[in-house]
Structure 1
Amino acid sequence: METIKTIGVLVVLLVVGYLGYKAVTTPPPTPPRDDDAHPPPATSNLNVPIPELPAELAQHSGNAPAAGSQPMSGAASDANQVAAGRQPPPAFMGGTVPSSSDPSPASSPNVAGDGSRNKDGQMASLTPQAAVASAMSRPPADVLSPAGAIGMPDVSNTAGNANPRTGEQQPPDSSGSPSAGDIGQSGIRKEFAEFLEAAYRKLDRGEFSQVHTVLTAWYADPRLTPQEDAQLTDLLDQVAGTVVFSRQHLLEKPYIVQPGDTLQSIAERYNVTPELLAKINGIAKPEDLVPGMTLKVLRGPFDAVIYLHRRELVLMLQGKYAGRFRIGIGTDARQCEGSYQVREKTRFPRYFSDSGVYEAGDPRNPLGPKWIGLEGRLGIHSTDDPAQFDNPQAPGSIFVSAKDMEDLFDILTIGSRVTVLP
């Protein structure tokens, strides 16, 4: 009997010891992590709209970004940023630009670079109203929504989506969500059309600075279709013409001329040329400047980005697009990608070629009457021969039309940065 009791006690002790051992050596169960309980969606199933709109802009256009989509970047506005990479396009911000006390247009550089001038031979400019009205043919009033925004056709409409600029019909979106494949025959995506319409609504409210910032960020973005790029650039040309070169005080407070001021002294204070100040403010003679006069001023310097593949020179002011000029590429400008500064501005320049030195006026001198020198034989000059723009063996360096050179010479200053991109 004693033996049975002893065995029972040993069994109990063994069980208790085993249970104690398990309690000590077995870790407590780990609660599931949040990302295990809610795994992220598979990226292969995401249908990301291109171009994705900034969040606030999407609210205005009624087209919110798809869930899980990644933010898309736009073209960098500063010349060094353009060369280095792209930054996310900024969202539209609230607020309005104060109205100008002097809304009259000024003679201004030709932002489109096509040599257009007014009847006096001066460069045309746009008031805010003209900039909005002439950039795009507006849809008829019956497509306006009750909220006052320009309405876009329902994607379920079997007639397709109408382009707000051209009126061309686009195939309807059968998937119900925007994607890179939603490009109709016009080459315009629904979200891009809504993007432009939101911009127009802001322009109608006078919010030029915000629109200028956003359009600059998207300029020359490779994700835009050629048709979208053309529409955006067309609008951007006119917005920049109003913000930068009209007499609207959208960048700086009006400057009141003080006793002793001259165009030269004011220009030096703002790091621009006196010729540019005179053009913007319609001052024909320096002696016309009198104390108490209100001037439109810009804080420079202007910089330039040259896109060789686009054959364009783009002006930049304070990191924003300020206009563009068509360029030709001469034999002295081959393989010239890089960053430069304006080193000299010369009238009636000599041309130093492999075969000799040619004075201004010599038919073998292709530089024209003005030269903006960058480095060695690399610089910007003009041509009077339109055929040279399509000539792969054109003499000289980077050139523009004679009329555009008159503008460019008065805009760029010594020290202006010039970035040449492929």
Structure 2
Amino acid sequence: MQTIKTAAIVVLMLTVLYGGYVSMTTPPEPLPEEIEEYLVIDEGGSSSLIDDSFITGEMVPGTADDALSLSQPPAGLFEDAAAPPAVGPSPQPPTTATATEMLAPPSQGNLSLPNTSFADLAPNEISATPEREAPRALPPVDSAAPSITPGPADSYASTPNQFALPDPSSVAGQFDSSKGIPFAPPAESDSAASSTSANGQAGGDEANLGLTNAIAAADELYQKGQLKEALATLSVFYGMPGISADQEQQLMGRLDPLAREVIYSRRHLLEQPYKVSGSESLVEIAKGYKVPWQLLANINGVDDPVTVLPGTELKMVRGPFRADVDLNGKVMTMFLGDLYAGRFEIEVGKEPSPTPGEFTVQDKQTSRTFYGPAGKTIPAGSPENPYGNAWLDLGGQLCIHGSSNTVKPTDDGCISVAGDLADDVFAILSQGSTVTIRR
């Protein structure tokens, strides 16, 4: 068995050696005649398909048929073998251009030079370029195709271009006055009521649908214990025109109790309880919440604003408040942000007479000397002093003040509040509060 394997290997090696001997001793096949004429073999044995004169940039002088241009390929490679050989331009010796010649524009007929284009040719040379022959006639029409012949213009339907009005005499003759309901103009009272209703001013008889829905929603919030939300729902309707007398009574019957409970009671319905630390006073705490310390003292029942027991939880109100003074209605309404915060009856005096506008509380005093006309002076603390025990300066000699009457305001001074209520106004409005006066 081993002898057979050795013999097979020997035979294989002899076959390889014989194939190599045959390939080395067999002469190469001759080249085609069209290729052999371009092959140049020198004595050194090197060969090249291109003459060295092309590499050095020199052309071998000869006939036009033997010259080879860079712009034209050799015959037989890209053209049909039967076509005559192309004739290229006669070679030009290399020249060196001067600076003036290089800056001059290219002459006509220089398209074969670099950096030239059709824009450098004159118009007559461009037009002399042979163009493709355009067709002289349209293609024949297929006689078998169906033909369409348009009909006359009057074959289309049209509408008459004249409109005739009806004859009034014939129409009047056909009218029957016994049929239908005769037209009657509305009475003056009905017309006035209709006009008033359209303007939203129903004389106190038309109901405001928005307020009706708001009252129902506020009552539902009140039943759920959401008093602040109920107050906010109704506050937007305060002073709104077009509210009937019955609705206004329902509105104020809810606003005043809600404001008293949400803002002025000890229930924490606006802010989280504030726990007093060991070194704080009520004056410092109130300053941080932008309200007078008197307001926090009245709400929380604090007698001494300087000494407050550490750990005491206070009901807090974050200000400042603002006031709206209605000179015609003689009422001053307080607001805490957008929340209704109560109202006070006022009287309007002429010392000086208040003017509409927006003002800011600039100063506050509990006792103020009154200077009247003709040099009249009433000292502070006097029972006859029109300012009472509260005076709030609005600038320009305008002010809000108390009254010498404890139960009602008087027309002495500028804007007067009853003496017993002046302390509350003084405690609600702080220095910097906005006061709007309107008629």
User: Which category describes the TM-score, using the shorter chain as reference length?
Assistant: 0.5 to 0.7
Tell me how far 1:203 sits from its aligned partner: 0.3
- Aligned-partner Cα distance in 1 for 2:408–2:430: 26
Per-residue CA deviations over 1:104-153 (Å, capped at 9, x if unaligned) read xxxxxxxxxxxxxxxxxxxxxxxxxxxxxxxxxxxxxxxxxxxxxxxxxx
1:373 corresponds to which residue? 393
2:405 to 350, 374, 385: 385
Contact 1:342 1:413 in 2 (8 A): yes
Secondary structure in structure 2 of the residue aligned to 1:218: coil
Matched residue of 2:427: which SS? helix
The one-letter amino acid of 2:232's match is T
Note the residue ranges of structure 1 that are not aligned, 5 or more in a row: 1-5, 19-178
Residue of structure 1 equivalent to 2:257: 238
CA distance in 2, matches of 1:307, 1:215: 20
Aligned partner of 2:99 in structure 1 is none
The one of the two structures with greater contact order (alpha-carbon pairs below 8 A, sep at least 6) is 1
2:217 aligns to what? Answer: 198
Alignment partners' CA distance in 1, 2:297 and 2:259 = 19
| Residue 80 (structure 1) aligns with | none
What secondary structure, in the 3-state scheme, does the structure 2 residue paired with 1:286 have? coil
- Quick check: 1:272–1:301 contact (8 Å CA) kept in 2? yes
CA–CA distance in 2 between the matches of 1:335 and 1:273? 25
1:216 CA displacement:
0.8
Q: Contact between 1:187 and 1:228, CA under 8 Å: does it hold in 2?
A: no
1:402 pairs, out of 415, 419, 425, with 419
CA distance in 1, matches of 2:304, 2:271: 23
Cross-structure match for 1:157: none
Contact persistence 1:304–1:314 (CA under 8 A):
yes
CA distance in 1, matches of 2:272, 2:396: 39
* Aligned residue in 1 for 2:348: 329
**1:133-212 correspondence runs (5 A):** 187=205, 189=207, 191=209, 192=211, 195-212=214-231
**Aligned match of 2:362:** 343
Query: Structure 1 pair 275/361, CA: closer, same or farther in 2 (3 Å)?
Result: closer
Larger Rg: 2
Instruction: After TM superposition, give the deviation of residue 9 of structure 1 in Å.
Output: 11
Structure 1 position 404, deviation (Å): 0.8
| Count of residues paired in the alignment | 252
Aligned to 1:294: 313
The aligned residue for residue 432 of structure 2 is 415
Distance 2:383 2:215 in 1: 48
Cα pair 2:383 2:404 within 8 Å, conserved: no
Q: CA deviation at 1:307?
A: 1.6
Q: 1:185 and 1:220, CA in 2 relative to 1: closer, same or farther beyond 3 A?
A: closer
1:11-410 paired onto structure 2 within 5 Å: 12=147, 187=205, 189=207, 191=209, 192=211, 195-286=214-305, 289-332=308-351, 334=353, 336-356=355-375, 358=377, 359-361=379-381, 365-385=385-405, 389=409, 394-410=411-427
| 1:328 Cα offset (Å) | 0.8
1:327-356 CA distance string (max 9 Å, x none): 111113535110000011113212233312
**C-alpha contact 2:215 2:234 (8 A) present in aligned 1:** no
The two structures, once aligned, show a CA RMSD in angstroms of: 3.5
For the Cα contact (< 8 Å) 1:315–1:322, is it kept in 2? Answer: yes
Structure 1: how far apart are the matches of 2:289 and 2:311?
18
Alpha carbons 1:350, 1:357 under 8 Å: kept: no
Q: Contact between 2:262 and 2:270, CA under 8 Å: does it hold in 1?
A: yes
Name the stretch that deviates more: 356-365 or 261-270: 356-365
* Contact 1:333–1:398 (CA under 8 A) maintained in structure 2: no
**Residue of structure 2 equivalent to 1:148:** none
Q: Which amino acid aligns with 1:309?
A: N
What is the deviation of 1:368? 1.6
Residues 248/388 of structure 1: CA separation in 2 closer, same or farther (3 Å cut):
closer
1:367-400 CA-partner distances (Å, limit 9, x unpaired) = 22221110232111111337975x7xx2201011
